[in-house]
Chain A
Amino acid sequence: MTVTDDFLDALDDLDVSHDRTTLADLPATLADAVTDPAVGVPLHVDASLPGSVATTFTPSELQDAATGVTPARLGIAEYGSVVIRSSAGGDEPLSLYPERHVAVLDAADVVATGRDAVDWLASEVAAGRGSHVLATGASATADMGGLVEGVHGPNEVHVVLVEADTE
């Protein structure tokens, strides 16, 4: 089992769907993965968002968006978490407000454990990037008399794993 396999297994356990793609195919993969209307944060990998994903929009358009696409800066195999950086690019609200969150993760950025992720967080904080969220599955509550997914945050999370092109 590789760390990627562990990560994908953990996603399955959380009912988080995923695609595996390459950098070249990423825009097409994303175009299929989003539900319109979609908004997005410019990606941290060398690829563009598909045309159907808006990068300029008003707060109410954010509120009404069906999908938010953001970079995921790290994946944690132990927990199936993706790490979203709270940057000026709006990763935090875009991963939070729309019903569906699509997280784009470079397969090279998957670490094994929560402790690895905290080590990485500490180095990020030291570098002046001090705000991140470890997001694990959809938002959830049991406060209304039964377990419900999709509360203040998304009720669907989809991970797009970008792997090196081996061809």
Chain B
Amino acid sequence: MSSERKQKAAQLRHLLETEGPLIGPKVSSKNRDRYAAAERFDAWDSTRDEARAIKEAAIADLPELLEQLRESVEANGGTVYVADDAADANRYVTELCDEQGAETLVKSKSMTTEELELNDALAAAGVDTYETDLGEFVIQLAEESPSHIVGPALHKSREEIADLLNATFEPDEPLETAEEMTRFARDYLGERIREADVGVTGANFVFAESGSMALVTNEGNARKCAVTPDTHVAVTGIEKILPSVDDFGPFVDLISKAATGQDISRYVSLFTPPVASPTLDFESDEPIEFGEATAERDDPDDDRAFHLVLVDNGRTELREDDQLRETLYCIRCGACSNSCANFQAVGGHGFGGETYSGGIATGWEAGVHGMDSAAEFNDLCTGCSRCVDACPVKIDIPWINTVVRDRLNRDADPDTFDHLVDGLSPDEEPSGLALDKRLFGNFERLAKLGSATAPVSNWLADAGPARAAMERVLGVDRRRDLPRFRRETLVDWFDDRGPRVAADDASREAVLYPDAYTNYVLVDRGKAAVRALEALDVRVHVPRVRSSGRAPLSQGMISTAEDHAHHVYAGLAEHIDAGRDVVVVEPSALAMFEREYERLLAPESADRLADASYEVMEYVYGLLENGGSPDALGSPPEAVAYHSHCQGRTLDLEPYTVAVLEACGATVRTSDVECCGMAGSFGYKESYYELSMDVGEELADQFAGEPVVAASGTSCQEQLDALLGGEVPHAVELIAP
């Protein structure tokens, strides 16, 4: 186990030093551009809902749409082939080339043909294949795989590309600038396109009613590949089918904004092949035979042939999988990659499987290549949920990662060291679960033990030999400070102290939810929250309620998390019935109530808890808006630098903290990184410690020299403590009297 972890750490360290620094700034910039494009477009959210609904219905109706599409394409004069798997698809395309006596073939960018490894099959069949998208061209020359589903060569520097082109083509004048290289590639590939026998494209969308297809590109190569050779072969997954062109609107508005932050890509093509456009034989000296440009109908040019290859390759099974089905709604825009802090740090060669990369890749790889490929990188999803806001079709990508992690846990071999953590783990998980996952997944139990025996437990945990053993057996990196358990928990403190606002004087009553971190470790922020609420005349209760289940869920221990959810709901339901609000300090716990409990509780229960729950600063904001006076609160420092927790960002909580701090007289500067990199247990793990610190560096840079830094999540506080030195408080500690 330990050597496996060290190997993983070494692989990631290598990417952090090599490809990460090249790909990171490019995807971060696309991510910022996506925010800006969404901001400029008024209907961003409602259009995402529309697109989501269209995809849901289309996948539900897929068998019928597939038949309708076949009929439409055939009526137009084309051919449809549904390929069961990669070998079947490759056989069809290579046989077609053979029948046509095709010697050369040009391709536009297609991740589906990467999935099929079509180029290898064509090479084996003796067909010269040229990738004409410049990024794919670079990857093909370098004999590498794409590091990003939209920008396949983002991991390469301009200098590396120049070296590659100069070594391959030995031009008279060595190529140097992006303009020179683009011009060279355009000329070289232009010739390949003009002489090619077959053009292969993907398809971003296919429309069943009319047999049309759409291609979204910037370079123009897909247009050329589709209309220059006589034979056009489009290869795409069966999940790309939409009912009709009427459904295209939301996707035109969304796809480019999500992918690259462009309002629209340079070319959004709608083809209904075979097209009417005249074929072009560049070896002929005869004038091109044009037809009528203003004809009533655009009937196919007689010389054209069109083949639509629809690839199943595991998609039908994905469609039948209730948990992973929404993978098929993916429109391959790459926004989940761009919004992901870990992806920004290592790129798709780290955060990716055989073909696909980024958050959604876990679903794709599990579906098309199998669990082994998904297992390679599934742990890199920390569940930070920033991709949830980024996804144009609102796929719950963290959930897909959690489900796959759960399934991987269940398939794991029983481990001989299980007994070491057995005492910690009255969980619902199979034997064989990785020890680090079992340890972190049972954090509440660990915290309870640690608190009961503090401070001795903290001294023991700090001792060198203990840390070495924890690293070796449990994979807890010895460079990371461990949480320091407090002897007196928040609940115990409050039990002794009791509420300070009499029921008759109270404006509201609230339960302060004692999540495991606030209860056992960061007790001071819990006390501060109680004082702040009481200062605004809230009668506070701090009941003994179980931890939210975030810790086990992030290890993929769904059954254990569900068990927590039932207990938490049982522990809070009566308070909610009594008209009490539920106030939560830890954003990752609130995110459980607001998002994941939907999947773990009866729908009505999940709704009731979610409706009653507030993040503590959101709640204070509400109290101030309803007549509470900031004068009742304490005075924060004049200037505060505030980092909002990733899941808190997804729940749009940041503005409340900023508003409350400002109402209390502070000026606030916020970070714009997606995640601090700690992400619960992630940054503790030996395999991921260095990646976690690397992600955190960007945040540390943004806050360098700030006198007061505050955060909202336990993880963010711990990470910033480590990066900046010194204690980083929760924002509520700055405003509590």
Contacts and interface: CB of A to CB of B under 8 A. Distances in A.
B271 interface: yes
A131 B276 contact: yes
B295 A87 contact: yes
B269 A133 contact: yes
A143 B151 contact: yes
Contacts of B248: 118, 121-122
A51 interface: no
Interface string A63-88: 10000000100000011010001111
Given A59-B282, A145-B158, A145-B181, A88 B270 contact: no
Given A114-B249, A133-B267, A88 B292 contact: yes
A144 B182 contact: yes
Interface string A130-167: 11111111111111111110111110000000000000
B499 interface: no
Max chain B Cβ within 10 angstroms of own Cβ: one of A55, A89, A128, A130? A130
Nearest to B253: A114
Contacts of A9: none
Interface string B124-161: 00000000111101100000000000010100111101
B264 A134 contact: yes
Interface string A36-69: 0000011010000000000111111011000000
B270 A132 contact: yes
Given A59-B281, A93-B227, A146-B158, A136 B212 contact: no
Contact of A151 (B177, B219, B275): B219
A117 B264 CA distance: 13
Contact of A58 (B133, B269, B287): B287
Interface residues of B, number: 80
B497 interface: no
Interface residues of A, number: 61
B544 interface: no
Contact of A128 (B249, B277, B298): B298
Contact of B266 (A57, A90, A144, A153): A153
Contacts of A85: 298
A41 B281 CA distance: 18
B412 interface: no
Contacts of A96: 220, 223-224, 227
B189 interface: yes
B4 interface: no
Interface in A81-133: 81, 85-93, 96, 114-115, 117-119, 121-122, 125-133
Nearest to B212: A130
Interface in B194-245: 194, 207, 210, 212, 218-221, 223-224, 227-228, 244-245
Summarize A's interface: helix, strand, loop or mixed.
loop
A93 B249 contact: no
A87 B76 CA distance: 15
B173 interface: no
B277 A125 contact: no
Most buried by B among A44, A71, A131: A131
Contact of A88 (B26, B193, B290): B290
A152 B224 contact: yes
Given A131-B272, A139-B219, A88 B280 contact: no
Contact of A131 (B287, B290, B298): B298
B277 to A, nearest CB: 5
Interface string B294-307: 11111101000000
A89 B291 CA distance: 5
Nearest to B215: A133
A57 B178 contact: no
Given A63-B194, A85-B298, A140 B287 contact: no
B151 A130 contact: no
27 contacts: A44-B293, A44-B294, A58-B284, A59-B280, A85-B298, A88-B301, A92-B275, A92-B277, A118-B246, A118-B252, A122-B246, A126-B210, A128-B298, A131-B277, A135-B266, A139-B266, A142-B151, A143-B133, A143-B138, A144-B134, A144-B185, A145-B159, A147-B178, A150-B186, A151-B186, A152-B220, A153-B219
